[in-house]
């Protein structure tokens, strides 16, 4: 008997999702809990498992199509039903509930290998790991991504892999005689309309909402980061691993969040909700746009544990493999704009929080030290905060404590 599986709300009030790729073709066998489709939500690319075992009779949409929550995602039935096209029933409006129920099944990493019955001959296609933008590159170039050998982690196909195949397919250069120009012709440039990606549209919506509703105040400072970088190098050498700058900055910020809890809070109507946990967002620059990953319970982790988690989240954000829970719920945010060469800036406070600290690239500059002129590694700092919650004086005191910790890491490493 054919059964419909509708697109579930997989978290954070999802209203729709775009089909990135089907992992099981129409007519193929699927097992219960086997990943059947890869979809892109506002924040992440996730695999959705099948709640049923059987034969995929019909896809609810093509790759690139956007489906609303509650729309039929796939129809699954018996092998003898695969010959007939199954009519899809219309979208059913579900009643609104406060806590959406979890979907049936689990979001596992890899699809299991399906052994079809001996009497049924079924074509199977090995799943290829690739980001949506890489799949689009391959499609635009007319290349079957199944034929590309991935060089990324776990065999993931990268941009470079697609570009290498594209270059190999290009015809050799040949000398073309220069045309005889008899009259100057000026070609008129034309505009090109490009639809923004789902992630870029989400970023635009969130930024607009934050800027429109939060009265921002941004203050700027420079800090002598000489000791900070000495400690970073010593820790890296001792533990034979690179310590991300964000790990030390987070440790320096945590004491200030304890002293000034309004920076670790959410304004809810006329109430200020001061959070008991310290879930620190870290801004990650990716090929698809800026993604904020969240270090949960940052105050319970030492520098090495923070380093491991920051590396894991950074890689997951760039590969678009993080779960929704790892991309939401930050109580304060740190943005290392220095990683891309930035200095001072005006970071926008993420909606639902009250503050964000931006750290710029340190440069050797002259400073006055104990009445003498010296050269030091000077790191730019920019902090934006919600002026409805935090006054200028509180903002300055918060920044002063953060600067004191950054200039002498022993103050926060001992805590």
Tell me if residue 155 falls in helix, strand or coil: helix
The Cα-based distances of 88 to 25, 26, 68, 103, 194 in angstroms read 17, 14, 14, 20, 32
Name every residue whose Cβ is closer than 8 Å to that of residue 235 and which is 6 or more positions away in sequence: 243, 303, 304
Residue 158 token pair? 């990268």
What CA–CA distance (Å, rounded) separates 45 from 198? Answer: 11
End-to-end CA distance of the chain: 62
Q: Is 387 a residue of the active site?
A: yes
CB-CB contact of 73 with 37 (8 Å): yes
Residue recorded with tokens 């409006």: 93
Q: What is the pLDDT of residues 307-317, one digit of tens each?
A: 999 999 999 99
Tens-of-pLDDT digits for all 415 residues of the chain? 788 999 887 765 677 888 989 999 998 999 988 999 988 877 778 889 998 888 999 999 998 888 888 899 999 988 776 544 555 655 554 444 444 433 333 333 333 333 444 443 334 345 677 766 677 778 778 788 877 888 876 677 877 788 888 777 665 555 545 555 555 556 678 898 888 887 888 888 888 999 999 999 999 999 999 999 999 999 999 999 999 999 999 999 999 999 999 999 999 999 999 999 999 999 999 888 889 999 999 999 999 999 999 999 999 999 888 888 899 999 999 999 988 888 999 999 999 999 999 999 999 888 888 788 889 999 999 999 999 999 999 999 999 999 999 999 999 987 6
What are the chain's domains?
A: 3-125 (2.40.50.100), 128-169 (4.10.320.10), 206-413 (3.30.559.10)
281: β partners: 294, 333
Q: Which of 216, 275, 344, 387 is catalytic?
A: 387
Phi, psi (5° rounding) for residue 160?
A: -60, -35
The Cα-based distances of 202 to 199, 208, 290, 335, 346 in angstroms read 5, 10, 10, 19, 20
Q: What is the pLDDT of residues 253-305, one digit of tens each?
A: 999 999 999 999 999 999 999 999 999 999 999 888 889 999 999 999 999 99
Return the closest-CA partner of residue 283 out of 256, 249, 243: 249
Residue 318, number of CB atoms within 10 A of its CB: 17
What CA–CA distance (Å, rounded) separates 251 from 332? Answer: 13
Q: What is the pLDDT of residues 129-172, one digit of tens each?
A: 776 667 777 877 878 887 788 887 667 787 778 888 877 766 55
pTM, two decimal places: 0.64
CB-CB contact of 20 with 135 (8 Å): yes
Return the closest-CA partner of residue 105 out of 216, 8, 15, 212: 8
Across the chain, what does the average pLDDT equal?
Answer: 83
């Amino acid at each position: 008997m054919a059964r419909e599986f509708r697109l579930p709300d997989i978290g954070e009030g999802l209203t729709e999702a775009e089909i990135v790729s089907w992992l099981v073709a129409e007519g193929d066998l699927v097992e219960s809990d086997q990943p059947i489709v890869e979809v892109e939500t506002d924040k992440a690319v996730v695999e959705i498992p099948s709640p049923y075992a059987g034969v995929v009779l019909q896809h609810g949409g093509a790759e690139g199509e956007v489906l609303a929550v509650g729309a039929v995602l796939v129809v699954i039935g018996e092998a003898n039903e695969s010959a007939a096209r199954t009519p899809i029933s219309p979208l059913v409006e579900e009643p609104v509930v406060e806590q959406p129920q979890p979907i049936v099944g689990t979001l596992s990493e890899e699809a299991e290998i399906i052994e079809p019955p001996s009497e049924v001959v079924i074509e199977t296609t090995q799943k290829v790991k690739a980001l949506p933008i890489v799949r689009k590159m391959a499609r635009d170039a007319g290349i079957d991504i199944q034929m590309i050998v991935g060089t990324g982690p776990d065999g993931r196909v990268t941009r470079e892999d697609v570009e290498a195949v594209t270059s190999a397919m290009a015809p050799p250069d040949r000398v073309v005689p220069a045309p005889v120009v008899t009259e100057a012709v000026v070609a008129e440039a034309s505009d090109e309309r490009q639809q923004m990606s789902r992630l870029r549209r989400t970023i635009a919506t969130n930024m607009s909402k934050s800027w429109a509703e939060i009265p921002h105040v941004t203050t700027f400072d420079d800090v002598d980061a000489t000791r900070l970088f000495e400690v970073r190098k010593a820790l890296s050498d001792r533990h034979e691993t690179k310590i991300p700058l964000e790990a030390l900055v987070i440790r320096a910020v945590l004491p200030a969040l304890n002293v000034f809890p309004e920076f670790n809070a959410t304004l809810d109507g006329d109430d200020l909700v001061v959070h008991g946990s310290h879930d620190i967002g870290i801004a990650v620059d990716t090929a698809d746009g800026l993604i904020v990953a969240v270090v949960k319970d940052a105050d319970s982790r030492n520098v090495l544990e923070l380093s491991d988690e920051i590396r894991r989240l950074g890689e997951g954000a760039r590969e678009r493999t993080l779960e929704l829970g790892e991309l939401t719920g930050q109580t304060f945010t740190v943005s290392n704009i220095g990683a891309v060469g930035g200095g001072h800036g005006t970071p926008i406070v993420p909606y639902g929080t009250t503050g964000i600290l931006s750290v710029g690239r340190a440069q050797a500059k002259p400073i006055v030290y104990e009445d003498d002129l010296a050269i030091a590694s000077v790191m730019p700092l920019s902090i934006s905060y919600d002026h409805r919650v935090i006054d200028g004086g509180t903002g300055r005191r918060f920044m002063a404590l953060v600067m004191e910790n950054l200039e002498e890491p022993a103050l926060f490493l001992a805590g």
